[in-house]
A and B are shown apart, each in its own frame.
Chain A
Amino acid sequence: MGRFLSPQHGFWQNAEPVDGHTDLDLNFPQLKDKVQVYFDDRMVPHVFAQNDDDLYFVQGYLHAKFRLWQMEFQTYAAAGRLSEILGAGPNGAYLNYDRNMRRVGMVYGARRTLDSMERDPITHNMLNAYTAGVNAYIDHLPANELPLEYRLLNYVPEHWNHLKTALFLKYMSYDLTGAENDIEYTNVRNVLSKQDFEELYPIMQDSLDPIVPKGVAFYKQPAVRPKMPVNSDSLYFLWNTFANIYPINKPDKDNGSNNWAVDSSKTKSGRPILCNDPHLGLNLPSLWFEMQLHTPQYNVYGVTFPGSPAVVIGFTDSCAWGVTNAGRDVKDYFNIQFRDDSKQQYRFNGEWKKSDLRIDTFKIKGKHPFYDTIAYTIFGPVQYDGSFTGNNRTEYGNFAVRWKAHDPSNELKTFYLLNRMTNYSDYRQAIRNFSCPGQNFVFASKKGDIAIWQQGKFPAKWRRQGDFIMPGTDTAYLWQGSITPENNPHVDSVKPDRGFVSSANQMPADTTYPWYLGGSYPLYRGIIINRYLRQMNNVTIDDMKKMQTDNYNVFAETALPVLLQNIDVSTLSTDEKKYLDLLRSWKFNSDPTEKGPAIFQIWFDMLQNEVWNDDFDVAHKPVAIPEEATLVKCLRNPNFKFADNITTTQVESVQDVVTASFKKAVPQMALVDGEGTLEWGKYKDTGIRHLLRLGPLSRLHLSIGGGANIINATKQFHGPSWRMIVELKDKTEAWGVYPGGQSGNPGSKYYDSFINQWAGGEYNRLWVMTEADKNDKRIKFKMTFN
């Protein structure tokens, strides 16, 4: 307590003076040359180095200086080591989290990726320099400058190493490809006929506006297509297994993004404009850290990940790029038959094959370590077995996970090359290495090229391969090779007719594509983005700002008319009619002061429960209900059989279930209305939470609109973690904002300095400095490294 409260040594030392940052002179023998860093009035560092090694050293040092605790904490989480800091947790929650991370193969995949990164001399040097920079900060950190969260949790930082960078990048893979529905779909398949399953879980929605416009040829028909196993009708598409496993820490299904690039023919300036806003969990300290990295050879500005070198989303002096998640299914489960409880052998191709047993040690704060034995098979690690079954027990079933993130890869090389690109072919070269998580890379250059490419190493699958848990007793269901990069969905540098390229996590192509695209894809943001871009001409940056922060809900536009058509107004009370009228007058803008969005959401959620709960009651849990688009399509059919509530003797019609769900939903609407939180901004209650979920260190109750299915994809704790607009004129004009601040210190005024602007739909002008600007009044102070 004394140490914590001491003004000279305790938490008071984290209370940074709001004025006065003094120039610093630092000496490190590892540096080959001088590095000058200029900090502007937003605390963005502009790093001027003479060579790459010095550049990444200083990037590491600065990441540590501003965000050390966050970097460490996030990599502890990725490595499944939270129990070391937090203890086993209530009901062993943190230990379960940790076991899950290791069993899904996070450390396994990170080590293999690290091997690849170290085998490439360029990325090996990047890692060496970056790690050295981070450790240079840690080694010289005096006790009184220890970040606040270490004090609160009573521990100290350990040394950084290359594996931690690999783990951090792997965690992004987890966030973006870890949310498959294999278990849920398997349980659903068991209770539906094949025909019903196809109707309720279609492989493509009719209203899809794919990333590659329909009719655009971009692939060569393969000589050989992936072959469905001959026994799949009996062993795969019918009931053959189930799983009562609730996945731990399942990534948010809305982890995704928007990006688009407008061609010169459509902009007022006659130069392309590129936009990107990645949608992720909104946390403090922020995931992103703005930087400019400059050497005599190249110059790049954008957002970086504290934990990894390079700029991840941004622009060079000639080109810009951005990413959205591809959302392809690259994580599949296989049903393993162990010979006995020892897990030493499993059935494969008619024989008992020896599994690779590995013992993981989990150090737990204040307790004895926990040991977990994991069996590695030809498919991958057996994530779920008798000793680990998610949050609930399962009766049987050992499930091995085959995840693309397990394979060696070098995504860092892609970022390295993107940071240096000067033209379209540099961009093509840069993204070739990118394996997992597959991303839609959008590109624009000052020369006028725009392009989009869904790049990743995707397994070549047959129709519905990987939708369910697959038999794991032979080779029949293994992935049959990868799709060659040239056949990945893309829209080329050849001027696209429509004058723009875009992606919003929708399906990249329709079902004429010869390989199964799997996964479940958001539909609506792609529709509204393309609608706007088609209509627009003489596009300016201001147009793009309005578009990126647009709150129009095209899903409501689709669904509400169907609901309103089917409601029996004659059965409604005055109170119920009041809410219905409010809804009718809503013009589908999910603005913070509107009441329509909450009424619509409460009603639609209730409708989904009313339609599906009775039918899936009999299934093993968990299940995944059909997508919203599917339900709306089904409701248009008056003979929709699932409208019937099977627990009642009468047969309900679509009108019955729509009306009943509205009446059931009204009490909740009235309750919320009574509390004064029916307005969308208050109902949604957006907030940016500290990683430890401590209220006083968070920024809660922000008034901002938007939501799922909307370009401004801001939900409660999830949304646009970075918004960027880049116009590629001779002198690039770029704008950006993220909900946080450059400093990870809650005692700094730069901890949350951008949040109000972000919530208000404002942007900051991104300043690309040259050394000639060093006396500009925007520069607050500088660090000189020797």
Chain B
Amino acid sequence: MKIAVTILLTIILSFAAGLYLPWQSMALVSFLMAVFMHQKPGMAYLTGFVSMFLLWTLLAWWIDAQNDHILSARMATLFPLGGSSLLLILVTGLVAGIIGGLAALTGSYLRKYYQLYKAKP
């Protein structure tokens, strides 16, 4: 349950940040979520990955549908994806997931080491 909430929150906040800030803000949000939420690093990576994967995949899918796949078909031929819009959307999601996951992982380690630091007498 907590994971679902974390993921949902990350998605919403990243989207909102993206409206006003440059694209890297999605990584920042993922990072900060992991800093402030208690999770094992493995889970942190997973939530970071899943939330950013979902955000970009859904957004790209929505844009692509509105566009009748015009641009995605061209881009998926320009890049070696065999003209598949779906593949391009998945790649978009994958890249976001990797970035998001790594950012969250970093965040969770930072939290962990900060707690260790605080625990020292």
CB pair B77–A695 under 8 Å, yes or no, is: yes
Of the candidates A6, A19, A697, the one whose C-beta lies within 8 Å of that of B23 is A6
Binds A, one of B5-13, B29-37, B59-67, B105-113: B59-67
Q: Please provide the chain B residues from 1 to 34 with a CB less than 8 Å away from any CB of chain A in the complex.
A: 15, 18-19, 22-24, 26-27
Q: Please provide the chain A residues from 687 to 721 with a CB less than 8 Å away from any CB of chain B in the complex.
A: 694-697
Asked if B99 lies at the interface with its beta carbon under 8 angstroms from chain A, I say yes
Asked if A3 lies at the interface with its beta carbon under 8 angstroms from chain B, I say yes
Of the candidates B56, B70, B74, B78, the one whose C-beta lies within 8 Å of that of A7 is B56
B contact patch SS:
helix
Of the candidates B24, B77, B78, B92, the one whose C-beta lies within 8 Å of that of A12 is B92
Q: Please provide the chain B residues from 62 to 95 with a CB less than 8 Å away from any CB of chain A in the complex.
A: 63-64, 66-68, 70-72, 74-75, 77-78, 91-92, 95
CB pair A697–B78 under 8 Å, yes or no, is: yes
CA distance A9 to B92 in the complex (A): 12
CB pair A746–B71 under 8 Å, yes or no, is: yes
Q: A12-B92, A694-B78, A746-B74 are in contact. Are A7 and B59 (CB under 8 A)?
A: yes
CB pair B23–A9 under 8 Å, yes or no, is: yes
CA distance A749 to B73 in the complex (A): 12
CB pair A5–B92 under 8 Å, yes or no, is: yes
Asked if A30 lies at the interface with its beta carbon under 8 angstroms from chain B, I say no
Of the candidates B27, B71, B92, the one whose C-beta lies within 8 Å of that of A747 is B71
Residue with the highest number of chain A CB atoms closer than 10 Å, among B18, B64, B75, B95: B75
Q: Measured between C-beta atoms, what is the minimum distance from A407 to chain B in Å?
A: 43
CA distance A14 to B23 in the complex (A): 15
CA distance A16 to B68 in the complex (A): 9
Q: Please provide the chain A residues from 742 to 786 with a CB less than 8 Å away from any CB of chain B in the complex.
A: 746-749, 751
Residues of B within 8 A of A472 (CB): none
Residues of B within 8 A of A11 (CB): 71, 75
Q: Which residue of A lies closest to B68 (CB)?
A: A18
CB pair A749–B70 under 8 Å, yes or no, is: yes
CA distance A14 to B91 in the complex (A): 18
CA distance A527 to B104 in the complex (A): 74
Residues of B within 8 A of A748 (CB): 70
Of the candidates A3, A17, A694, the one whose C-beta lies within 8 Å of that of B66 is A17
CB pair B56–A6 under 8 Å, yes or no, is: yes
Binary per-residue interface labels of chain A (136-148) against chain B in the complex, 1 for a CB within 8 Å, 0 otherwise: 0000000100001
CB pair B66–A697 under 8 Å, yes or no, is: no
CB pair B70–A2 under 8 Å, yes or no, is: no
CA distance A12 to B15 in the complex (A): 15
CA distance A746 to B67 in the complex (A): 11
Asked if A10 lies at the interface with its beta carbon under 8 angstroms from chain B, I say yes
Asked if B96 lies at the interface with its beta carbon under 8 angstroms from chain A, I say yes
Asked if A1 lies at the interface with its beta carbon under 8 angstroms from chain B, I say yes
Residues of B within 8 A of A751 (CB): 70
CB pair A8–B23 under 8 Å, yes or no, is: yes
Q: Measured between C-beta atoms, what is the minimum distance from B71 to chain A in Å?
A: 3
- Residue total for A at the interface (Cβ-Cβ under 8 A): 29
CA distance A1 to B75 in the complex (A): 14
Q: A2-B23, A12-B60, A16-B67 are in contact. Are A696 and B75 (CB under 8 A)?
A: yes
Binary per-residue interface labels of chain A (108-149) against chain B in the complex, 1 for a CB within 8 Å, 0 otherwise: 000000000000000000000000000000000001000010
Asked if A15 lies at the interface with its beta carbon under 8 angstroms from chain B, I say yes
- Residue total for B at the interface (Cβ-Cβ under 8 A): 28
CA distance A230 to B61 in the complex (A): 77
Q: A5-B56, A5-B96, A8-B59 are in contact. Are A696 and B74 (CB under 8 A)?
A: yes
Residues of B within 8 A of A143 (CB): 22
Q: Which residue of B lies closest to A752 (CB)?
A: B70
Of the candidates B67, B68, B78, the one whose C-beta lies within 8 Å of that of A696 is B78
CA distance A1 to B92 in the complex (A): 9
CA distance A769 to B19 in the complex (A): 38
Q: Which residue of A lies closest to B88 (CB)?
A: A5
CB pair B66–A15 under 8 Å, yes or no, is: yes
Residues of A within 8 A of B56 (CB): 5-7
Residue with the highest number of chain B CB atoms closer than 10 Å, among A8, A19, A148: A8
Q: A5-B95, A7-B92, A8-B19 are in contact. Are A696 and B71 (CB under 8 A)?
A: no
CB pair A15–B23 under 8 Å, yes or no, is: no
CA distance A694 to B23 in the complex (A): 27
Residues of A within 8 A of B99 (CB): 2
Q: Measured between C-beta atoms, what is the minimum distance from A25 to chain B in Å?
A: 21
Q: Which residue of A lies closest to B57 (CB)?
A: A7
CA distance A410 to B115 in the complex (A): 75
CB pair A15–B63 under 8 Å, yes or no, is: yes
Residue with the highest number of chain B CB atoms closer than 10 Å, among A1, A13, A17: A17
Residues of A within 8 A of B68 (CB): 18, 749
Q: Measured between C-beta atoms, what is the minimum distance from B33 to chain A in Å?
A: 18
Q: Which residue of B lies closest to A143 (CB)?
A: B22
Q: A9-B18, A9-B22 are in contact. Are A15 and B71 (CB under 8 A)?
A: yes
CA distance A697 to B77 in the complex (A): 9
CB pair B71–A14 under 8 Å, yes or no, is: yes
Residues of A within 8 A of B66 (CB): 15, 17-19
Q: Which residue of B lies closest to A695 (CB)?
A: B77
Residues of B within 8 A of A696 (CB): 74-75, 77-78
CB pair A15–B77 under 8 Å, yes or no, is: no
Residues of A within 8 A of B18 (CB): 6, 8-9
Residues of A within 8 A of B15 (CB): 8
Residues of A within 8 A of B27 (CB): 2
Residues of A within 8 A of B91 (CB): 5
Q: Which residue of A lies closest to B17 (CB)?
A: A8
CA distance A645 to B56 in the complex (A): 69
CB pair B95–A2 under 8 Å, yes or no, is: yes
Residue with the highest number of chain A CB atoms closer than 10 Å, among B23, B64, B91, B95: B23
CA distance A1 to B96 in the complex (A): 10
CB pair B74–A697 under 8 Å, yes or no, is: yes
Q: Which residue of A lies closest to B27 (CB)?
A: A2
Q: Measured between C-beta atoms, what is the minimum distance from B15 to chain A in Å?
A: 8
CA distance A148 to B70 in the complex (A): 13
Q: Which residue of A lies closest to B66 (CB)?
A: A17
CA distance A522 to B27 in the complex (A): 62
CA distance A5 to B23 in the complex (A): 10
Q: Which 9 A-B pairs have the closest CB atoms?
A: A747-B71, A7-B59, A15-B67, A696-B77, A17-B66, A15-B71, A6-B23, A9-B23, A8-B18
A-B contact pairs, 13 of them (CB 8 A): A2-B23, A6-B23, A7-B56, A9-B18, A12-B64, A12-B71, A17-B63, A18-B67, A18-B68, A696-B78, A697-B74, A697-B78, A746-B70
Q: Which residues of B contact A (CB under 8 A)?
A: 15, 18-19, 22-24, 26-27, 56, 59-60, 63-64, 66-68, 70-72, 74-75, 77-78, 91-92, 95-96, 99
